Amino acid sequence: MERLRLCPIDAPQDGEPVAIPAGAFPALAVYNVDGQIYVTANTCTHGNAQLTDGYQDGATIECPYHGGAFDIPSGAATTYPCQIPLKTYEVTIEDGWVTIDAPGAPES
């Protein structure tokens, strides 16, 4: 399966997620939660907001539009009006880069 290199491992800081713009894949967000790196979809499931424009508090990201929130590690919607979970991606660190399997890439 094709791997996507998203950003250097030191790019996301605690409370400061990194936006990865959409291209041949959906817009993504890379988070650092107490030294653990996570990747989720960057678009709120309630509205068309970029979550990296919101507020990260520990393992929670709050949408900048309506204040709904998600658990970063699981993608679970935790605060109304958000009800649909975020897509999450398994992260691998390769040569100092945050990588994931390419969304939509065929399995080999």
CATH code, domain with 64: 2.102.10.10
12, part of any domain: yes
Statement: residue 13 has pLDDT above 60 = yes
Beta strands in 1-108 (DSSP E): 3-8, 18-20, 28-33, 36-41, 55-57, 60-62, 69-71, 77-79, 88-89, 92-94, 97-101
pLDDT of residue 107: 45
57, part of any domain: yes
Residue 99 vs residue 102, higher pLDDT: 99
21, part of any domain: yes
Range of the domain at 16: 3-101
What confidence tens digit (pLDDT) does each residue in 52-84 have?
999 999 999 999 998 899 999 999 999 999 999
Statement: residue 51 has pLDDT above 70 = yes
The owner of tokens 């907001």 is 49
49, part of any domain: yes
Whole-number average pLDDT of the chain: 91
pLDDT of residue 3: 84
What's the structural domain count of the chain? 1
23, part of any domain: yes
What confidence tens digit (pLDDT) does each residue in 16-44 have?
999 998 776 789 999 999 999 999 999 99
51, part of any domain: yes
52, part of any domain: yes
108, part of any domain: no
